[in-house]
Structure formats: C-alpha cells, structure tokens
Amino acid sequence: MNITQPSFQIPAEMRDSAEKSVEQARAALIAFMQNARKATESVQAQTRAAELPVSVAYVRGLELFEYNLAATFDVAQKLVRASSLQDALQIQSEYVHAQFASLQSQAKELISAAQPAKAA
C-alpha cells in the first residue's frame, strides 16, 4: 500500500504577497527599534544613567531584541519560500532549537550585565 502525501503548493501571487508583508513588517519594526535606540541614547546623554549596570543591560537588551527580531523575520521569509510542509516543519524546528539556545545565552548575559561590578 503506497501512501502519498498531499501536495503543498502556494500560488506565486500569495507567496509574493506574504513576502512583501514580511518585508513591510520588518521595515516598520526596524524603524521602531531605531527610534527606541535614539530615545535611549538621548536620555543617557542627558544623565549619567549610561554608566549604570541596568542601563548597560537595557541597551544590550535592545541589541539582542534586534538580533532576535532579525532571526524571526529570516525564518518567516524561509517559511514563505518553503516548497513543502516537510520543509516548513524542518525550518521551524531548526529555528526553535537555535532560538532556545540563543535565548539561554542572552539571558545569562543580561543578568551578568545588570549586576554591579564586584570590587576587586
């Protein structure tokens, strides 16, 4: 008995529309992040807050957020281009594994960045 999997075909117009939507969302969030970074830099320039460990952690948190956002949009673009359900599941699985490891590392980094430096 031969079992065939159903075809996973997305019309080109729908795929193009999805890709454009992903790019528009990426552009909007990049603009938002740039504005958040400028606002943070402005506040830090007016105060000595930039020297505080929490401020350093906040700035690094923004950088990591941007990195994670880029990874999310990259996987969204790959999913839009997936040619089969199996490909889409593989892409998603790889993303989840990579992000889980990345988030663990980032959490450790942010915790240590937010702690005041210990006196030697």
Tokens representing residue 14 in the block? 């729908």
Domain assignment of residue 37, yes or no: yes
CA-closest candidate to residue 110, choices 47, 46, 67:
67
Domain assignment of residue 5, yes or no: no
Domain assignment of residue 29, yes or no: yes
Band of the pLDDT at 91, cuts 50, 70, 90?
very high
Overall pTM surpassing 0.85 (yes/no): no
Identify the H or E element spanning 66. Answer: helix 53-81
Domain assignment of residue 8, yes or no: no
Q: What are phi and psi of 111, to 5 degrees?
A: -65, -45
Domain assignment of residue 10, yes or no: no
Segments forming the whole domain that contains residue 88: 15-114
pLDDT higher than 50, residue 120: no
- Give residue-wise pLDDT tens across range 9-66: 777 888 888 889 988 998 998 888 888 888 877 877 776 655 667 777 778 888 898 8
